[in-house]
Amino acid sequence: MAIQKVRGTNDFFYNETKKLKQIESYFHSFAKIYGYEEIRTPVFEYTELFTRGIGEETDIVGKEMFTFTDRGERSLTLRPEGTASVVRAVIENSLLNERSVNKLYYMGSMFRAERPQKGRYRQFNQFGVECLGTDSPYADVEVMLLNINILSHLSKEYGSAALSDISLEINTVGCEKCKPEYEKALKEYLKPNLDKLCATCRTRYEKNVLRVLDCKVPSCKEVLNGVPAVYDYVCCECKDSFDKVKESLDGVSQKYRVNNMLVRGLDYYTKTVFELQCRALGSQNAVAGGGRYDKLIGIFNNGKDVPAVGSAMGIERLMLILEDSSLAQTEKSLDVFVVAFKETEAFSISMLEKLRRSFIECDSDLNVRSVKSQFKTANKYNALYSIILGPDEVNSGKCVVRNMADGSEEKVDIENADKYLLMKLAR
Contact footprint for ligand AMP (CB under 6 A): 81, 112, 114, 119-121, 124, 126, 265, 286-289, 312, 314, 316-317
Q: What is the closest distance, in whole angstroms, from the C-beta atom of residue 410 to ligand AMP in the complex?
A: 52
Cβ-based nearer residue to ligand AMP, 133 or 289: 289
Cβ-based nearer residue to ligand AMP, 57 or 345: 57
Q: What is the closest distance, in whole angstroms, from the C-beta atom of residue 362 to ligand AMP in the complex?
A: 37
Residues 6+ apart with CB under 8 A from 229: 260
Residue 322: Cβ-neighbour burial (10 angstroms; 0-12, 13-18, 19+):
buried
Q: What is the closest distance, in whole angstroms, from the C-beta atom of residue 245 to ligand AMP in the complex?
A: 18
Q: What is the closest distance, in whole angstroms, from the C-beta atom of residue 35 to ligand AMP in the complex?
A: 22
User: CA 65, CA 292: separation in Å to the nearest integer?
Assistant: 23
Cβ-based nearer residue to ligand AMP, 212 or 394: 212
CB-based closest residue to ligand AMP: 314
Tell me the backbone φ, ψ of residue 368, rounded to 5 degrees. Answer: 45, 60
Cβ-based nearer residue to ligand AMP, 211 or 317: 317
- Could you list the beta-strand ranges (E) of 85-219: 102-111, 123-132, 166-172
Q: What is the closest distance, in whole angstroms, from the C-beta atom of residue 126 to ligand AMP in the complex?
A: 5
CA-only gyration radius of the chain, Å: 28
Q: What is the closest distance, in whole angstroms, from the C-beta atom of residue 354 to ligand AMP in the complex?
A: 45
Cβ-based nearer residue to ligand AMP, 278 or 384: 278
User: CA 114, CA 64: separation in Å to the nearest integer?
Assistant: 6
Q: Which amino acid is at 97?
A: N
For 58, which DSSP code?
Answer: S
User: CA 37, CA 129: separation in Å to the nearest integer?
Assistant: 9
Q: What is the closest distance, in whole angstroms, from the C-beta atom of residue 314 to ligand AMP in the complex?
A: 2
Please name which of 323, 327, 290, 16 lies closest in space to residue 153, comparing C-alpha atoms: 327
Cβ-based nearer residue to ligand AMP, 310 or 412: 310
Q: What is the closest distance, in whole angstroms, from the C-beta atom of residue 92 to ligand AMP in the complex?
A: 22
The bridge status of strand 383-389 relative to strand 334-340 is parallel
Cβ-based nearer residue to ligand AMP, 10 or 93: 10
Could you tell me where the DSSP H helices lie in 276-363? 296-300, 315-321, 345-357
For 63, which DSSP code?
Answer: I
Please name which of 127, 109, 110 lies closest in space to residue 31, comparing C-alpha atoms: 127
Cβ-based nearer residue to ligand AMP, 274 or 337: 274
Cβ-based nearer residue to ligand AMP, 208 or 377: 208
Q: What is the closest distance, in whole angstroms, from the C-beta atom of residue 188 to ligand AMP in the complex?
A: 29
* Cα Dmax for the chain: 94
Q: What is the closest distance, in whole angstroms, from the C-beta atom of residue 121 to ligand AMP in the complex?
A: 4
The bridge status of strand 308-314 relative to strand 286-292 is antiparallel
Cβ-based nearer residue to ligand AMP, 277 or 374: 277
Q: Is the dihedral of CA 87, 92, 93, 94 positive or negative?
A: positive
Q: Which residues of 349-366 are buried (b: 16+ CB within 10 A; e: fewer)?
A: eebbeebeeeebebbbbe
The bridge status of strand 102-111 relative to strand 123-132 is antiparallel
- Could you list the beta-strand ranges (E) of 119-250: 123-132, 166-172
